[in-house]
């Protein structure tokens, strides 16, 4: 047992301060992304989520240009982007993809400018790598409380929105009939999405943060039809991907003689991808085993994936 | 309605309005060319009269980094106009992207001095895009080093600049044979002016043998080696910081332990290229009483020549080791 653990977890893992910071920040962003991600998937807003990662890219690279920490830009510009997307029509299903695409393109353009300026006018060599693909082992430990605070804020926001958000997600007509302020719910949810994306950008980079937002949630929604369970399951999968990813990146230091360790972002995204792949057969197996036992009641969240549940009320 | 209005405005463009626009554009173009010319002249490159000017006695030369341009003007004296491509102390030469103005500057030069070893690869691209026939001095090749030399900061190697200066004198003499004696004299003066630096290094080696040091990047590694010092930071970590990729957590811990545990007497910090991680290490060194010495990718300006810069670095390291004093800016 002791030998097995030592083989699995290289010496110094728990005492390493970069690892501890990575576990806290990665874990926090994984849970927030998973929770927000479940609603994102159910509302069919994955594309909007991805656009927010690009806004976040621009924000992070802009923040470096101003000499601020990337987290400021990741989250700050993400929230501004959420507002812009709402203002130019992300609410209406028909205009949604257009508005999202326009914001996405503009953000990447800005990011290209900021990253160019970062590398030519300021002494920030790793800017592109850091913003796009993350550098979780180089984050200052002082950033951890900020991340935990923002993560709690996002979770509280989702908690407050929970009832109306669920209603507007699964039954938009009913939500309107019951007087749910659709637009307000939509805007606040997009802000929660921006927070989640901002935190994940810090963990695995802005470009890859969609993976943490969508991946664990998509796998969870395939596996369970109950919203509570899918939130728990998505959080568990996200946490597992992050923490095992950090462990593998740490261990990879000893995989070759020259101690070239591999990037943590790769491991996290690869794990998320394999979880999603595995969730397909697992869901089929589960459906077969309790297949005839009971016809699933028309619960609120019975659709296995986002494609089957396009809600116009986003 | 909308369409016809667009149509009308397009037709209008075809008339005198368009001619006027074209006139305005060409005026703007001319202004741009003039501005470029003016900019070029103030940068010290006689490109408007390139070719003709050289025969009148002034060679236009380019140093990819300002330390090479500095030595070029020391050797060439009044017969060379040396421009530097990289001299901004706030940018990282490793990530430099060239612009059309730089390409113009380089392609009109008759002598080019560059570092090589992948440090200024943008120069090769510009050179291969324009006509040949100029003289190119690649310091890495002068030293017989391979293209994939891991540490490209060759000018910190005491062997590098004397070799480069000799090659500069040779090429200048070939271009202006009438002034060969003048260039030889300047070369001798340059070599003599390196003596204080050599002596300072020798004195340090004698007084403080095998001093342990930590670094963020391999910027001054050749100098530390020449001073007989022992750089305890793994090269892997230095290369990761230099290349802008995440170092492994093991190496981050190792580096922090070097500073916290007082295992090193001096921390050489790349003042020109900083990020959150290196800044936090600088803070750790300051807090735990390890003296910090700023090292630079390009020559700090103004006020320094190559020789005085190198001498200042040695003096700063000596001060750190013997007086425990930091030199955070040269």
Evaluate whether residue A62 is within a structural domain: yes
Domain hosting A145: range is 21-207
Tell me what percent of the residues of chain A surpass a pLDDT of 90: 43
The model's confidence at residue A309, banded by pLDDT at 50, 70 and 90, is very low
- Per residue in A177-188, pLDDT (tens digit) is 888 888 888 889
- Per residue in B156-214, pLDDT (tens digit) is 999 999 999 999 999 999 999 999 999 999 999 999 999 999 999 999 999 999 999 99
Instruction: Check pLDDT > 50 for residue A230.
Output: yes
Cα–Cα dist A90/A77, whole Å: 17
Evaluate whether residue A56 is within a structural domain: yes
Cβ-based contacts of A263 with chain B (< 8 Å): 245-246
Contacts of A76-82 with CB under 8 Å at 24 or more apart are: A78/A52, A78/A194, A78/A195, A78/A197, A78/A198, A79/A191, A79/A194, A79/A195, A80/A55, A81/A51, A81/A52, A81/A55, A81/A56, A81/A107, A81/A194, A82/A52, A82/A187, A82/A190, A82/A191, A82/A193, A82/A194
Helices (H), B144-248: 160-175, 180-193, 195-207, 221-226, 235-243
Helices (H), B261-304: 276-287
DSSP letter at B327 equals B
The model's confidence at residue A310, banded by pLDDT at 50, 70 and 90, is very low
Tell me what percent of the residues of chain A surpass a pLDDT of 70: 86
Classify residue B29 by burial, with Cβ atoms within 10 Å: 0-12, 13-18, 19+.
exposed
* Closest Cβ opposite residue A137 in set B96, B252, B256: B252
Degrees to nearest 5, angle at CA B233 with B228 and B234:
110
pLDDT, residue B162, reads: 97
- Per residue in B300-330, pLDDT (tens digit) is 988 899 999 999 999 999 999 999 999 999 8
Evaluate whether residue A51 is within a structural domain: yes
pLDDT, residue A139, reads: 86
Instruction: Check pLDDT > 70 for residue B8.
Output: no
* Closest Cβ opposite residue B92 in set A125, A136, A139: A125
A286 in helix, strand or coil?
helix
Cβ-based contacts of B252 with chain A (< 8 Å): 16, 18, 137-138
B272 part of contact set with chain A, CB < 8 Å: yes
Cα–Cα dist B290/B276, whole Å: 19
pLDDT, residue A68, reads: 81
Evaluate whether residue A266 is within a structural domain: no
- Per residue in B250-303, pLDDT (tens digit) is 999 999 999 998 899 999 999 888 787 888 899 999 999 999 999 999 999 888
pLDDT, residue A86, reads: 77
A205 part of contact set with chain B, CB < 8 Å: no
Mutate to test the interface with B, among A9, A16, A123, A204 (most CBs of B within 10 A): A123
Residues 6+ apart with CB under 8 A from A162: none
Q: Which of B50, B68, B72, B185 is nearest to B130 (CA)?
A: B50
Instruction: Choose from A41-55, B21-35, B39-53, B57-71 the range with maximum mean pLDDT.
Output: B57-71
Question: Bigger pLDDT: A103 or B97?
Answer: A103
Cα of A189 to nearest chain B Cα, Å: 32
Instruction: Check pLDDT > 70 for residue B86.
Output: yes
Instruction: Choose from A166-170, A201-205, B234-238 the range with maximum mean pLDDT.
Output: B234-238
pLDDT, residue B99, reads: 80
Mutate to test the interface with A, among B150, B242, B250 (most CBs of A within 10 A): B250
pLDDT, residue B40, reads: 38
Question: Bigger pLDDT: A312 or A158?
Answer: A158
Cα–Cα dist B285/B278, whole Å: 10
Mean pLDDT across A132-153: 90
pLDDT, residue A134, reads: 85
Mean pLDDT across B111-131: 89
- Per residue in A7-43, pLDDT (tens digit) is 677 778 888 888 999 999 999 999 999 999 999 999 8
Handedness of CA A161, A162, A164, A168 (dihedral sign): positive
Cα of A206 to nearest chain B Cα, Å: 15
The count of domains in chain A is 1
Bridge partners of B136, per DSSP, are: B112
Cα–Cα dist B164/A237, whole Å: 59
Instruction: Check pLDDT > 70 for residue A60.
Output: yes
Mutate to test the interface with B, among A18, A69, A125, A257 (most CBs of B within 10 A): A125
Helix (H) / strand (E) element for B266: namely: strand B266-270
Tokens of A216: 């664990």
CATH architecture label of B195-323: 3-Layer(aba) Sandwich (3.40)
Q: Phi and psi at residue B200, in whole multiples of 5°?
A: -60, -40
Bridge partners of B60, per DSSP, are: B81
A178 in helix, strand or coil?
coil
Q: Which CATH number fits domain B47-193: 3.30.420.40, 3.40.50.1980, 3.80.30.20, 3.30.70.20?
A: 3.40.50.1980
Evaluate whether residue A233 is within a structural domain: no
Evaluate whether residue A246 is within a structural domain: no
Question: Are the C-beta atoms of A155 and A32 separated by less than 8 Å?
Answer: yes
Distance of CA B150 to CAs A305, B146, B147, B179, B217, Å? 50, 9, 9, 38, 12
Q: Do B275 and A125 touch (CB under 8 A)?
A: yes
Q: Do A127 and B276 touch (CB under 8 A)?
A: no
B174 conformational bin, left if phi > 0, alpha if psi -120 to 50, beta if neither:
alpha
pLDDT, residue A123, reads: 61
Q: Which of A34-38, A75-79, B28-32, B205-209 has the lowest mean pLDDT?
A: B28-32
pLDDT, residue A38, reads: 96
Evaluate whether residue A180 is within a structural domain: yes
Residue A104 belongs to a domain with what CATH number? 1.10.3470.10
- Per residue in A233-279, pLDDT (tens digit) is 999 999 999 999 999 999 999 888 888 889 999 999 999 999 999 99
Residue with the two structure tokens 């700063």: B316
Distance of CA A165 to CAs A42, A90, A168, A175, A188, Å? 11, 16, 5, 9, 10
pLDDT, residue B327, reads: 94
Q: Do A116 and B97 touch (CB under 8 A)?
A: yes
Mean pLDDT across A76-89: 83
Nearest CA in chain A to B96: A120
Report the largest interatomic distance among the alpha carbons of chain B, rounded to a whole angstrom: 89
Cα–Cα dist B288/A74, whole Å: 33
């Amino acid at each position: 047992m002791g030998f097995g653990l030592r083989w699995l977890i290289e010496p110094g893992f728990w005492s390493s301060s970069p690892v501890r910071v990575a576990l806290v920040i990665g874990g926090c962003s994984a849970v927030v992304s998973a929770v927000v991600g479940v609603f994102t998937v159910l509302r069919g807003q994955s594309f909007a989520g991805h656009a927010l990662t690009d806004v976040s890219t621009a924000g992070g690279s802009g923040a470096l240009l101003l000499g601020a920490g990337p987290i400021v830009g990741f989250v700050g510009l993400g929230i501004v982007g959420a507002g812009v997307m709402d203002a130019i029509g992300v609410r209406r299903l028909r205009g949604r993809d257009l508005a999202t695409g326009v914001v996405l393109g503009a953000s990447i353009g800005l990011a290209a400018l900021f990253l160019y300026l970062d590398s030519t006018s300021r002494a920030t060599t790793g800017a592109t790598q850091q913003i796009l693909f993350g550098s979780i082992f180089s984050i200052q430990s002082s950033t951890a409380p900020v991340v935990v605070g923002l993560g709690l804020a996002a979770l509280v926001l989702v908690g407050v929105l929970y009832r109306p958000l669920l209603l507007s997600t699964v039954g938009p007509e009913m939500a309107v009939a019951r007087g749910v302020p659709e637009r307000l719910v939509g805007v606040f949810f997009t802000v929660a999405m921006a927070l989640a994306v901002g935190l994940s950008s810090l963990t695995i980079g802005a470009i890859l943060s969609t993976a943490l937002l969508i991946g664990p949630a998509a796998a969870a929604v395939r596996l369970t039809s109950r919203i509570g369970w899918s939130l728990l399951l998505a959080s568990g999968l996200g946490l597992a991907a992050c923490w095992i990813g950090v462990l593998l990146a740490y261990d990879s230091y000893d995989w070759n003689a020259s101690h070239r360790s591999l990037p943590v972002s790769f491991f996290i995204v690869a794990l998320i991808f394999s979880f999603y792949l595995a969730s397909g057969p697992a869901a089929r197996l589960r459906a077969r085993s309790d297949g005839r036992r009971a016809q699933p009641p028309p619960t609120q969240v019975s659709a296995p994936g986002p494609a089957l549940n396009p809600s116009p009320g986003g | 309605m909308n369409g016809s209005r667009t149509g009308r405005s397009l037709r209008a463009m075809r008339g005198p309005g368009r001619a006027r626009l074209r006139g305005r554009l060409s005026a703007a173009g001319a202004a741009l060319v003039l501005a470029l010319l003016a900019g070029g002249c103030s940068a010290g490159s006689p490109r408007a009269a390139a070719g003709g000017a050289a025969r009148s006695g002034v060679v236009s030369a380019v140093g990819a980094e300002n330390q090479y341009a500095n030595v070029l003007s020391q050797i060439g004296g009044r017969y060379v106009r040396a421009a530097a491509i990289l001299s901004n102390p706030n940018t990282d030469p490793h990530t430099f992207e060239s612009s059309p103005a730089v390409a113009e500057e380089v392609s009109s030069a008759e002598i080019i001095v560059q570092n090589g070893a992948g440090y200024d690869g943008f120069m090769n691209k510009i050179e291969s895009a324009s006509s040949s026939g100029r003289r190119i001095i690649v310091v890495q090749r002068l030293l017989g080093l391979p293209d994939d030399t891991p540490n490209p900061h060759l000018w910190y190697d005491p062997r590098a600049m004397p070799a480069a200066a000799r090659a500069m004198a040779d090429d200048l003499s070939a271009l202006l044979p009438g002034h060969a004696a003048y260039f030889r004299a300047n070369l001798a003066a340059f070599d003599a002016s390196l003596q204080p630096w050599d002596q300072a290094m020798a004195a340090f080696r004698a007084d403080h043998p095998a001093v342990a040091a930590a670094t963020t990047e391999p910027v001054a590694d050749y100098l530390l080696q020449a001073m007989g010092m022992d750089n305890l930071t793994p090269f892997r970590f230095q290369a990761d910081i230099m290349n802008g990729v995440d170092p492994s957590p093991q190496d981050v811990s190792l580096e922090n332990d070097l500073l916290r545990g007082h295992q090193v007497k001096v921390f050489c910090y790349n003042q020109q290229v900083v990020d959150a991680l290196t800044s936090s290490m600088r803070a750790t060194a300051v807090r735990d009483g390890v003296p910090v010495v700023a090292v630079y990718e390009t020559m700090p300006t103004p006020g320094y020549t190559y020789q005085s810069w190198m001498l200042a670095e040695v003096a700063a390291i000596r001060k750190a080791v013997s007086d425990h004093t930091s030199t955070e800016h040269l």
